[in-house]
Amino acid sequence: MNYSIGIDLGGTDIKAGLLCEDGSLSCRMVVSTQVDEGAKPIATRIAETARKIINTVESDSEKNKKIIGIGIGAPGLIIANSGIIHFSPNFPGWTDIPLLDYVSTELDDIDLPLYIDNDVNVMILGELHHGAGIGYENVIALTLGTGVGGGVVINRQVYHGSWNTAGELGHTIVQPNGRKCGCGNFGCLEAYAGAKGIIERTQQRIAEDMKTSLNPDSLTPKQIANAANDGDELAVQIYSETGRYIGIALTSIAHILNPQIAIIGGGIAAAGESLLFQHIRREFKQRTMDIPSNMEIVPAKLGNQAGLVGAAMLAY
């Protein structure tokens, strides 16, 4: 059997695991990233973690295990083919860091190819091969978290664009002159369907005297979803609006790309069918032309494993 090593590099933790070609994960480990130490010590920790997994596989009595490569998923703008992190919001001060070179120097005694890509591209790759995207050719993905990430797959290949910035679906404009986005523009999907947008829209409505069980000073998207499930009218409205904004964004994307399926993941997507997905689909169907409206809209399947599975899939 073939195996590959997946590394999910985050601002807090480095997660690692061994992916079998059948999609099963084993040898999972987590070490602290320690961002403030800088890129080279982080590359050393990544290499040490990979080496531990390689040693575990080599000492395994079952000798037909073959590791074919190591893949790393990381947040930010990644120049995938040269292994460079151009910019990452999770790693302050990093500009054009040749992370793959650093890791490969640490592992120069081990003859395995190394790969890196953006965490959302990696998530979509995981879903494409072992999750909600199995059997589809043209796929888009959204991750609803602190920000709203996006990815595009065309003919089963992640599309990177001319300068590696394709797939920024979270910055689709859903409201001209709308809320300010972290990117500097106004009215992006992220400014409505990201955690900050959801919380601030709720606070604004509470300030307008809308009745609610929610405390405006300590809000999270999950609390708002819980309140909505308990029947809180404001919370229900906030999620149905969030769904509408996502449906509006998906309308533009479906008209441009005509994908077969949109996979939606991230913590906020856990609000589920009745709070979120039915509103996304209704808005999308109402606005989209006949043929592109065939696109299916489904939740991601791999949950928080998608980063590891997808990173390991870079090696295939």
3-state secondary structure of 127: helix
Map tokens 């072992």 to a residue. 130
Least distance (Å) from Zn ion to the CB of residue 3?
38
Least distance (Å) from Zn ion to the CB of residue 171?
4
Q: Nearer Cβ to Zn ion, position 127 or 168?
A: 168
Q: Nearer Cβ to Zn ion, position 82 or 185?
A: 185
3-state secondary structure of 32: strand
Q: How would you write 238-298 as a 3-class SS string? A: HHHHHHHHHHHHHHHHHHHHCCCEEEEECHHHHHHHHHHHHHHHHHHHHHCCCCHHHCEEE
Using an 8 Å Cβ cutoff, are 103 and 59 in contact? Answer: no
- Residue from 15, 45, 171, 244 touching Zn ion (CB under 5 A): that is 171
Q: Nearer Cβ to Zn ion, position 184 or 231?
A: 184
Map tokens 């054009």 to a residue. 96
Residues touching Zn ion, count (CB under 5 A): 5
Q: Which one of the spans 40-48, 149-157, 175-183, 247-255 is the region binding Zn ion (CB under 5 A)?
A: 175-183
Helix (H) or strand (E) holding 222: helix 221-229
Q: Nearer Cβ to Zn ion, position 173 or 206?
A: 173
Region 181-200 residues binding Zn ion, contact defined as CB under 5 A = 181, 183, 185, 188
Which residues touch 1 (CB under 8 Å, ≥6 apart)?
A: 20, 21, 22, 64, 65, 66
- Beta strand pairing status for 139-144 and 114-118? unpaired
Least distance (Å) from Zn ion to the CB of residue 121?
18
Least distance (Å) from Zn ion to the CB of residue 53?
37
Q: Which of 138, 140, 193 is nearest to 166 (CA)?
A: 140
Q: Which one of the spans 62-70, 148-156, 176-184, 251-259 is the region binding Zn ion (CB under 5 A)?
A: 176-184
Q: Nearer Cβ to Zn ion, position 119 or 232?
A: 119
Least distance (Å) from Zn ion to the CB of residue 172?
9
95 binds Zn ion (CB under 5 A): no
Least distance (Å) from Zn ion to the CB of residue 261?
24
Q: Which one of the spans 129-137, 177-185, 230-238, 306-314 is the region binding Zn ion (CB under 5 A)?
A: 177-185
Q: Which one of the spans 52-60, 81-89, 163-171, 293-301 is the region binding Zn ion (CB under 5 A)?
A: 163-171
Q: Which of 288, 293, 286, 241 is nearest to 268 (CA)?
A: 241
Using an 8 Å Cβ cutoff, are 289 and 205 in contact? Answer: no
Chain positions contacting Zn ion, by CB under 5 A: 171, 181, 183, 185, 188
